[in-house]
Amino acid sequence: MIWTLIGAIAATLTMFSFVPQIFRSLRTRSVKDFSPITLFQLSAGVCLWLIYGIARKDPIIIIANIVTLITLAVLIFLYFKFGKSGQ
């Protein structure tokens, strides 16, 4: 039970870790601090975690990585929308 709770808390923190960056980028209309390589590398890692979660049939891992992928997709979209120059 305690390990499930720890996993759920860890998943929640991870899932929403990019939300402040999304709000900041929307407010400033700038992505000048983004590294596209980091975003794509992290997305690849999250995809692999998702596959692992599916293989293990672990709903915490599956949900956490789906939500994390969504937030990363939003950041990647903002990167291409606002461009590196922030214009």
pLDDT tens per residue, range 17-64: 989 999 999 999 988 888 889 999 999 999 999 999 999 999 999 999
Given a cut of 60, whether residue 87 has pLDDT beyond it is: no
Given a cut of 80, whether residue 86 has pLDDT beyond it is: no
**What domains are there in the chain, each with its CATH number?**
2-82 (1.20.1280.290)
Residue 3: both structure tokens together: 């390990």
State the Cα–Cα distance between residues 58 and 60, nearest whole angstrom.
6
State the Cα–Cα distance between residues 5 and 32, nearest whole angstrom.
37
Residues in the chain: 87
